[in-house]
Amino acid sequence: MILLWVLLSQALAQVENTDNFIKQIESRFAPSINLKKDVGESIPRYQYLGLIDREKIIQSKLVQKALKRLGSVQRLRDQKLFGITDRMIVRVFEKTDEHDFFYVLGNNNKVSYRVHAKYVEDLALTTTMDEPPRQYSEVKVRKNVSPYDRDLFWMHELAAGLSLGNARWLGDLANDTGVQNGAGFILKGQSLADMGERFRLGGSLNLENARHSSSRNAITMQNISLGLIGKTKPIETNNFLWRLSAEFRYTLFGQLSQTSGGAQSRTRFRTTSVNIGWEKLETNFIGPWSWGVNLQRDFPKLVNQEQFVSQNTNEANDSLILQLTQGVNW
């Protein structure tokens, strides 16, 4: 019995010495953490010293990171955890320790906290705007407004052109095969409003004057007409701005004047005209201006049949027009 008691005493002493040895290791290498308040994070009992030198971490590049909501950060001086209740941006050192922790630089330029990489987000894509060159586009206020509810954008234009037209219709109208091709001028005013993304539509008032010579007399044509005109908005091709136009006109007042032997006679007529054009766009101190070429076809009819011939002509008048246009935005 005495021998059994001695053996039992030696075993208990050995267990006690072993437990004391383990506690000595814990107190020397891994002191326990006093969290005081649980933030819902599973924290290991032992916090081993990092294998990466703290100085190397602090010497790494300083970057911005966003803290994730419901994560946690750890205070270094007492290893206390604090919950992240809102998203926030912090400055951390780019290099992490062996446990994948980022070290946070506070507003006082001291490193007092660290946060695990799983609780941060990269801000590289959202902070590139702050890198030189700092050039930003102006913020434009956009409103969903129906095109039928907003004011029209008007463009008013004045145009002048020189025309060269054939004489087939005058020769047929006057029953004179000796009528020659004639030259003239055109003055016009037009207003156009935006219609959608690509076109402008409006009206025009036109004054045309042309003179033709024949074997018997000289014939002057005067024509005042109203037009419905459409133009494309500026089209850019390799920094070259241009546009197309199309116009339909109808005569308000048209008159042919003939001078023969000192006597003059006048005859009323009307025309329906179609005009298509191409313009090269430029800009000056007044506004946009253009130069271009137009092709025009007139379909003339006499107002009465008492003069010239007993029936209307079936010929058309074709003209080539060189035109300058000056616009003013309204």
Give tens-digit pLDDT for 94-125. Answer: 888 888 899 998 888 888 899 998 999 887 55
Average model confidence (pLDDT) across the chain: 78
Q: Is residue 139 part of a domain?
A: no
Contact 60/96 with Cβ under 8 angstroms? no
Select from 273, 242, 237, 270 the least CA-distant residue to 255: 270
Whether 35 has a pLDDT exceeding 50, the answer reads no
Q: Which residue has the higher pLDDT, 135 or 255?
A: 255
* pLDDT the model gives residue 79: 86
Whether 29 has a pLDDT exceeding 50, the answer reads no
DSSP 261: T
- Examine the domain organization and report whether 164 and 295 are in the same domain: yes
Q: How many CB atoms lie within 10 A of CB 274?
A: 15
Distance spanning both ends of the chain, measured CA to CA: 120
- Examine the domain organization and report whether 195 and 254 are in the same domain: yes
Q: Is residue 206 part of a domain?
A: yes
Q: What is the pTM of this model?
A: 0.52
Q: Quick one: pLDDT band at residue 187, thresholds 50, 70, 90?
A: very high
- Examine the domain organization and report whether 124 and 160 are in the same domain: no
Select from 28, 93, 91 the least CA-distant residue to 55: 93
Q: Is residue 148 part of a domain?
A: no
- Examine the domain organization and report whether 163 and 123 are in the same domain: no
* pLDDT the model gives residue 247: 96
Contact 178/214 with Cβ under 8 angstroms? yes
DSSP 221-247: EEEEEEEEEEEEPPEEETTEEEEEEEE
Residue 75: which CATH number?
A: 2.30.30
Q: Which residue has the higher pLDDT, 257 or 144?
A: 257
Exposed/middle/buried for residue 270 (C-beta within 10 Å: 0-12, 13-18, 19+)? middle
Whether 20 has a pLDDT exceeding 70, the answer reads no
Q: Whole domain around residue 45: which residue ranges?
A: 33-128
Q: Facing residues of 297 across strands?
A: 274, 318
Q: Flag the least confident range among 49-58, 106-115, 143-152.
A: 143-152
* pLDDT the model gives residue 257: 84
* pLDDT the model gives residue 37: 41
Residue 229: which CATH number?
A: 2.40.160.20
Whether 279 has a pLDDT exceeding 70, the answer reads yes
Separation in Å, CA 173 to CA 214, 271, 300: 13, 13, 9
Provide the domain count of the chain: 2
Q: Is residue 146 part of a domain?
A: no
* pLDDT the model gives residue 127: 53
Of 90, 112, 128, the residue that ends a domain is: 128
Whether 25 has a pLDDT exceeding 60, the answer reads no
Query: Can you tell me the mean pLDDT for 190-206?
Result: 90
- Examine the domain organization and report whether 94 and 194 are in the same domain: no
Query: Can you tell me the mean pLDDT for 278-291?
Result: 91
Q: Flag the least confident range among 2-16, 41-55, 240-254, 264-278.
A: 41-55
Instruction: Give the tens place of pLDDT for each residue, 62-94.
Output: 888 888 888 889 998 888 888 888 878 889 998
Torsion 306-307-310-311 (CA) sign: negative
CB burial of 234-267 (b: ≥16 within 10 Å; e: otherwise) equals eeeeeeeeebebebebebeebebebeeeeeeeeb
Q: Which residue has the higher pLDDT, 44 or 193?
A: 193
Instruction: Give the tens place of pLDDT for each residue, 228-256.
Output: 999 999 998 888 899 999 999 999 999 88
- Examine the domain organization and report whether 93 and 231 are in the same domain: no
- Examine the domain organization and report whether 117 and 186 are in the same domain: no
- Examine the domain organization and report whether 175 and 281 are in the same domain: yes
- Examine the domain organization and report whether 83 and 194 are in the same domain: no
φ, ψ dihedrals at 174, nearest 5°: -95, 0
Whether 224 has a pLDDT exceeding 90, the answer reads yes
Whether 299 has a pLDDT exceeding 60, the answer reads yes
